[in-house]
Chain A
Amino acid sequence: MNKNKILIIDDDVDLLASTKLFLESKNFEVETAINSKIGLGILKSFHPELIILDIMMDTNLEGFNFLNELKSDDNFKETPIIMSTGMAKSIGVNMRAAIEEVDSLPKTKFIDKSGDWEELLQAIKELL
């Protein structure tokens, strides 16, 4: 059976390294990018089946902007995306509306970033 391909875009290198290792142990093929620009480059050659995308990177809303780019690109608009942030859902200040929009998109899920793998694995299972 082929391994499912996942691209993780996050500005935290430690998080990228550990998450990559963990997901690989769960039999996924994983690539990482430290910003959305690099992510876009990898996207074109790697063709991931799922993208895990951080929201707050260089700018507070970089993740959202990248999401919009993907959703308007015919090649990637069907790719499932997991959006994550260290912010609890309830305290998003100007993010709340944006998060609700994300939740309403097809094949897109929003999760809180936490040290616990369970929520992440669950979300991946749901979307793939």
Chain B
Amino acid sequence: MNLRIVRLAYWLIRLRWFAILGIFIAYYLAKHSLHITISDLPVYIIILLLILLNVLSISFLKYLQKSQIRKSLKNVKRIINFQISTDLIVLTVLLHYSGGVENPFIIYYIFHMIIGSIMLTTKESFVQTSFALLLLGSMTFLEYSGIIQHYPLQGFITSNMYNNLTYLACTGFIFISTSYFVVYITRTIIKQSEKHEAAYLLANAKLKQKDKIKNEYVMRITHDIKGHITAIQRCISVLNEKLTGPLNSQQEEFVNRAHKRIQILNKFISDLLSITNRKLLQKTEKKYFSLKNSIEEIIKMSENSVQEKNIGIIKNIEASVDNIYGEQSSIEEVLSNLIQNAIKYSPAGKNIFINVWDKQENVLIEVIDNGMGIPEYEIPLIFNEFYRASNVKTEIKDGTGLGLAISKYIVENHGGKIWVDSIENLGTTFYLLLKKEE
């Protein structure tokens, strides 16, 4: 069922409650503050009638929504048409008992015309408008010709206007032209917005479809490339580990070269796919997790490379730091990148320090090494994709130039910050500021 029309139907019902309250307040103020004479009984009857009509409309709408039949849409429109028509009748009766055409509230017919134009078709809107003008015209004519009684607003209007033909003709002309003009303008605007809404919905559906195709494409490529690389790597490993028998020194040298290169390639492809997938898929599954445990886990995982280089990792985590909100695997990837870098670029025997500070809404992580550092002019560039500092390129060949780019992407996606301080040949400190809460 068209949800927009149902929403509007409920909106109309809500408006009506306000209208009922408005009538009551206007009646009360007019009578007691302005001392205008108004007949009580018709007002009470009308208020009760409106409440009844509104309750009926709600029940019928609820019934239609439950029944879920295709014809429901037509019926919802019927309710709206019925509501507007009855409102117009009620307004006319109310006006009749409170001064007729002399009551400034005749302007309220315009509200119904606007509401009608928003909810109904152009034809229906013009029919409702004509109906309103017919009601107002009949009342005015009947009062003018004395067929029905005129109830003057004593204490508000001092001279009689309801039988002044010039006044009636002018007011009638202005009112009729205003009414049709208002409906025309409203319909034009509404049609425009309906067109835009339809275009937007279509575009959204197309985008979703494209997104799905793209996701599958990325997944397929990821799987296929990694599949080949993995198979090659394992086949070379078989030779490299001499599972097929001994190799002569030259064979061994070349198998070794191939093995090393394929390892670098594998890492490179993993990094490349990681950053591409992150950018393309933008899928994150965030939750609360223990940052403390993650850091300890990553340090434990680095034990092998740390022992090889005789490096100590000295950690200092402030006691109040624990849970933060984010995607655990991504944040762990960032931490692992930074810690692995620190190990890789530290000379043997130099310690690495990891400090974690509680900064109210944030957590500040410092990863400090006493390694080769980054040349000053290159500091602004190191988070760029594929960038590798000139001094590491010559010494360490297996970097992909993507680790920091991925890290920056992840951190910024979490609303955090990553930056670096470094002095060449003295050491580097990476700072990571992460939000604790969502």
Mark A residues whose CB is within 8 Å of B: 12, 14-15, 17-19, 21-22, 25, 56, 60, 85-93, 96, 113-117
Contacts and interface: CB of A to CB of B under 8 A. Distances in A.
A14 B243 CA distance: 15
A93 B222 CA distance: 11
B351 interface: no
A93 B238 contact: no
B273 A88 contact: yes
B302 interface: no
A113 B219 contact: no
A18 B329 contact: no
Contacts of A14: 231-232, 234-235
Nearest to A19: B234
Q: Which of B223, B230, B244, B327 has the most CB of A within 10 A?
A: B230
A18 B273 contact: no
Given A89-B329, A92-B219, A115-B237, 9 more contacts: A17-B235, A18-B231, A22-B237, A22-B238, A88-B270, A88-B277, A93-B219, A115-B233, A115-B266
Contacts of B277: 88, 90-91
Contacts of A19: 234
A22 B243 contact: yes
22 contacts: A12-B230, A14-B234, A15-B231, A17-B235, A21-B238, A22-B238, A22-B241, A60-B219, A87-B222, A87-B223, A87-B226, A88-B222, A88-B277, A89-B329, A90-B329, A93-B219, A113-B226, A114-B233, A114-B266, A115-B229, A115-B234, A115-B237
Contacts of B266: 114-115
Interface in B316-341: 327, 329-330
A94 to B, nearest CB: 9
B274 interface: yes
B227 A12 contact: yes
Contact of B222 (A86, A96, A114): A86
Contact of A91 (B224, B230, B241, B281): B281
Interface of B: 215-216, 218-219, 222-224, 226-227, 229-235, 237-238, 241, 243-244, 262-263, 266, 270, 273-274, 277, 281, 283, 285, 327, 329-330
Contact of A117 (B222, B227, B237, B329): B237
Nearest to A26: B243
A104 to B, nearest CB: 16
Contacts of A116: 233
Contact of A115 (B215, B243, B262, B274): B262
Contacts of A113: 226-227, 230
Contacts of A91: 218-219, 222, 273-274, 277, 281, 283
A109 B345 CA distance: 34
A50 to B, nearest CB: 18
B328 to A, nearest CB: 10
A56 B223 contact: yes
A18 B238 contact: yes
Contacts of A114: 230, 233, 266
Contacts of B222: 86-88, 91
A83 to B, nearest CB: 14
B281 A15 contact: no
Contacts of A12: 227, 230-231
Q: Which of A22, A90, A96, A116 has the most CB of B within 10 A?
A: A90
Contacts of B243: 21-22, 25
A114 B265 CA distance: 12
A85 B219 CA distance: 11
A53 to B, nearest CB: 15
A93 B283 CA distance: 9
A86 B237 contact: no
A17 B235 CA distance: 8
